[in-house]
Structure 1
Amino acid sequence: MNYIYNISNHPKRSEIEKRLEIIKFFDKFGQEATKQAFNKSRSTIFLWKQKIKQSGGKLSSLSPASKAPRTRAKRVQTEETIQFIKNYRLIHPGSDKVTIKPLLDNYCTKIGITTLSESTIGRVIRTLKDKGQIPDYYIRTTINGKTGKLLFRKIGKHKIKKMRSKGYCPKNPGDLVQIDAISFFKNGIKRYCLCALDVTSRFAFAYLYNTLSSTSAKNFVERLEEVAPFGIRAIQTDNGSEFHKYFDKYLKERNIIHYWNYPKYPKGNAFIERFNGVIQRQYIGWHIGEIDDTDTFNKGLMQYLIWYNTEKVHRGIGKQPPLRYIINTFMSSQKSNMLWTVTFP
C-alpha cells in the first residue's frame, strides 16, 4: 500500500511513526517475532492497517485516539447552592470549603435539595474566582496612572527555600544550637521565654521577653553569642515568624547557617524541646509570679543557668556539667568568654 505522509507537523508524529515501523516489521517477520519485539498482538496491527486503508493511506489515521471518557460526570450544582456559596464568601472573605460545608448542608436540608461535597464546594469557589464574582486575595487590582487602564496582578506566596539539618551530625560545641520559644500566662500577663541548647555540649541559655518578634529573637542570639564559650556555626529553629526577618538576616550577616525544622515535627528539635520542659519544671513554674518584671525574672534566671551549666550533671555527656565537659573535651587550652565561669567549682 502506498502511504500518504501527512504527519510532518502532527503533534503525535513520533507515535505514528512507531506504529508504522511495527506494521512493516510485522509484514516482514510475522506475528511471533512482532509479539516478542514490540508486545503487540495480531488484532492490534490489523486494526491499524484497517484505519490506514479506510483513510486512503493517510498516516495520520494511526494517531492514538483520545482515552478520555466519552461521557463525563455532570456537576450536581444548582443555582441555589452556587448563590449560597457566593453570598457567604462575599460576607466572609477567605472562608474555605471546610468552613462552608456544614452551613451549606443545613441550608440544603431546609429547602430540600441535594448538598455538595467539600471537593465540589472547592471547585465552585475556584470557578467563582475565575469569573471575578468573588474577591481573590491573591489578585491585586491597580489603575495605570497614564492610561487609566485597569490592571490585575496576581501575587504569589513568597516561599523561602529552607535548609534542613537532615543527616547532619554535629561534633563540636557550636556546630548546632537549637532555639525555641515558650509562652505562658499569669494574671492576664503574657510573656515569652526564648531558649537555646547546644546539641553537643548541652550548654543552655534562656531569656525572658515582653513580646515575641524577630527583633526579640535577634537580640537573643546576640546575648547568646556574648555568653557562649564557643563560636556558633549553625542554629536550628522551628518555622515561627519570630525566626524570620531580622533574626534570619542577622544570622546571614554573621555567616551562621540557619536550619529549619520540619513543620509539626517536634522530634527534629528534641534537645531544645526537652530543655523547655526542664526549665519550666525547675525554674519558670516556681517563679511565674515574677514575670511582670522581666528584669527581676531574668536576674534570677541567670543564676539558674549558672547552676544548670556549671553544677548540674547530664547523663548524655558522661554525667558532667556542660562547662566542665566543654573544658575537659574541647577547650583544655582555651579560655571561656563567659563571666560566670569564674564561679565554676
Structure 2
Amino acid sequence: MQHIGVGYFGYYRATAYAMKHSLMPEIAKLRMKALNFWDKHGIRAAADALDVSTRTLYWWRRLLRTGGPEALIPRSKAPLVRRSRHWHPDVLKEIRRLRTELPNLGKEQIFVRLKPWCEARHFTCPSTSTIGRIIAGAHDKMRMIPVRLSARGKARLIKKRSVKPRRPKQYRPVKTGELIGMDAIELRMGDLRRYIITMIDEHSDYALALAVPSLNSDITSHFFSKATKLFPVAIRQVVTDNGKEFLGNFDKTLQEASIKHIWTYPYTPKMNATCERFNRTLREQFIEFNELLLFEDLNLFNQRMAEYLVLYNSKRPHKSLELMTPVDYILRESKNCNMWWTHTSPVNAKQKCHHRCETEMSCFGSENAFDRLAIYFRAFSFPNRNHENDNFLVYNLVYKAIA
C-alpha cells in the first residue's frame, strides 16, 4: 500500500514546510509567549514569571527579529568537531594483512585472529563492529581485486565507471530549445539494415529526422552539428539513451558546443518519452507507407520524409500544443524581428539582415536563408550522393513550412 503523497511532485517538501511552521515545538511556543508577555507587562515581570534572565529574553528577541518565529526553535547542540578514531598503525596494518592473506575476510573472522595478536603485543583489540568501520573507512575498503587477463595474457586494467548526468525526476522543459530528445530507429529487411536518426524539442515538438545507411557516433555527430542550423533557437541540453551512436564523437561535439548531455537509465525509454512517441508517430504516419522505398532509394526516401516533416511542423495540429503546430507555437511563444527565418519568404530571402534580434531566435545573419540551408543539406551528403534535388528538398522543408 503506497503513501498518499506518492506521485505528487513536491508533496513531502510542502508537508515538511507546513509542519515546521504550524506545529512548532512547545519550547518555541513558550519563548514566543514569553516575548508577548514582555511586551504587555515588562521585562522584569516576564523574567520572574518564566524564571529566566533578562539576558536570555534579549537573546530570544534578537533571534525573532533576525530569523522569524522558526528561529526560536532550538538548534542541535551536537559538537562541530567530534572524536575521531586513533588506532595504533600496527593494528591497522595487521587488519590489512589478514584481508590480503585471506582475500576479503569478514570482520568476525578477523576479530578471532586479531585478538590473540593484540594481546601478545599489549595492544587494545578493536571490537567486531569497530573492525567493520575501520575497513569501511579505508580509501580502498581493504578489498583485494583479482587481476583479469586479456586474450593475449596481459593484465587488463579495470576502469572505474564514470558517473553520467541523469535526467532529474519530474523534469519538464519550459522553453524551446531547453531540452532536445534524440533517438535512432533500426529497420530490417532480410540482411539489409537502415537507420533513422530522430530529434525533437520536448517543449514545442519541433522535430527533424534523417535516414542513414549505417549508424555510429560520427554519423550522429555529423547529423546533429548540421541539424542545429535548422533549429530556430540555441540548444541547451540533449537527452539520449546509452547507445554507442551517442558516445565518442557525438558526446565530444556536445562538449565543444557547451551543450549538456543527459543520459537515460539503462532499459528506461520512458525517460526520453517525447522522442519515443515521435518515433511511433513517424512509423505509423510515414515509415510504414514508404518502408520499401527506404531500402531501394535512400535519397528519395529522405526527400519524401522532408515533405512529411513540413506537414508535421507546420500543418499538423498537436494536442499537446493546444491544437497548434510547432511553428505557430514557437512564433506565439517568443517575440522576434521580421527578418527571422519563419517570417522570410522566398522573394525577400535574398535580402540581408543585419538587425540584431533581442531574443534567442536570431536571424541567419549576412547570408540569405536559402543559400545557407542549401549548404546545410549538401553537408549532409554521403559519398556518391546526387545533389540534383537539394534545392527542392530545402524548399520543401523550409519555405512550405512558412507559407
Range into which the TM-score falls when normalised by the shorter chain: 0.5 to 0.7
- Cα deviation digits, residues 131-177 of structure 1 (max 9, x gap): x9xxx345975xxxxxxxxxx64312463431122154422111100
* Aligned AA (1:63): C
The amino acid of 2:232's aligned partner reads P
Question: Given the superposition, is the C-alpha separation of residues 65 and 251 from structure 1 closer, same or farther in structure 2, using an over 3 Å criterion?
Answer: closer
Tell me the equivalent position of 1:234: 237
Match of 2:260 in 1: 257
Deviations 1:77-125 (A, max 9, x none): xxxxxxxxxxxxxxxxxxxxxxxxxxxxxxxxxxxxxxxxxxxxxxxxx
CA contact (8 A) 1:239 1:260 kept: yes
**SS of match in other structure, 2:161:** coil
CA deviation map 1:186-218 (0-9, x unaligned):
243210001001011000110001001001111
- Letter paired with 2:234: G
2:284 matches 1:281: yes
CA distance in 1, matches of 2:159, 2:201: 33
Matches within 5 A, 1:90-239: 136-137=148-149, 141=153, 153-157=155-159, 159-167=161-169, 168-239=171-242
Pairing 1:319–2:323 present: yes
User: Matched residues in 1 for 2:89 and 2:247: separation?
Assistant: 52
1:153–1:221: structure 2 CA closer, same or farther, 3 Å change rule? same
Q: What pairs up with 1:20-59 in 2 under 5 angstroms?
A: none
**RMSD of aligned Cα (Å):** 3.0
2-structure distance, mates of 1:162, 1:320: 36
Aligned to 1:342: 399
Pair 1:207–1:137, CA change in 2 (3 A): farther
TM-score norm. by structure 1 comes to 0.57
How far residue 341 of structure 1 moved from its aligned partner, in angstroms, is 4.2
State yes or no: 1:302 paired with 2:364.
no
Distance 1:324 1:65 in 2: 71
1:330 to 329, 334, 337: 334
**Shift, 1:333, TM fit:** 3.2
Residue 353 of structure 2 aligns with which residue?
none
Instruction: Kindly state the Cα deviation for residue 274 of structure 1 after the two structures are TM-superposed.
Output: 0.5
For 2:260 and 2:127, locate their aligned partners in 1 and report how far apart those are by CA, in whole Å. Answer: 54
CA gap 1:332/1:157 in 2 versus in 1, 3 angstroms = same
In 1, Cα distance between equivalents of 2:211 and 2:315: 22
Q: Tell me which moved more, 230-239 or 217-226.
A: 217-226
Matched letter for residue 319 of structure 1: L
Cα distance in 2 between the residues matched to 1:156 and 1:324: 52
Secondary structure, in 3 states, of the residue corresponding to 2:265? coil
For the 8 Å contact 2:149–2:155, the answer to whether it is kept is no
Alpha-carbon distance between aligned partners in 2 of 1:164 and 1:211, rounded to the nearest angstrom: 27
d(CA) in 1 for partners of 2:322, 2:272: 22
Q: Aligned AA for 2:264? A: N
- Once residues 257 and 160 of structure 1 are traced to their aligned partners in structure 2, the CA distance between those partners, rounded to angstroms, is 16
1:248 aligns with 2:251: yes
Counterpart among 264, 271, 274 of residue 271 in structure 1: 274
Count of residue pairs brought into register by the alignment: 221
Cα distance in 2 for partners of 1:265, 1:9 equals 48
Unaligned runs of 5+ in 2: 1-86, 93-118, 130-143, 342-363, 365-372, 374-393
Give the structure 1 partner of residue 125 of structure 2: 63
What code does the residue aligned with 1:236 have?
V
2:217–2:247 Cα contact (<8 Å) kept: yes
**Structure 2 Cα separation of the partners of residues 228 and 174 of structure 1:** 8
SS at match of 1:162: coil
Query: Offset of 1:10 from its aligned partner?
Result: 6.9
1:304 counterpart letter in structure 2: Y
Decide whether aligned partners of structure 1 residues 289 and 165 sit closer, same or farther in structure 2, where only a CA change above 3 A counts: same
**Shift in alpha-carbon separation, 1:65–1:178, aligned structure 2, 3 A:** closer
Q: Compare relative contact order (CA 8 Å, sep 6+) and give the higher one, 1 or 2.
A: 1
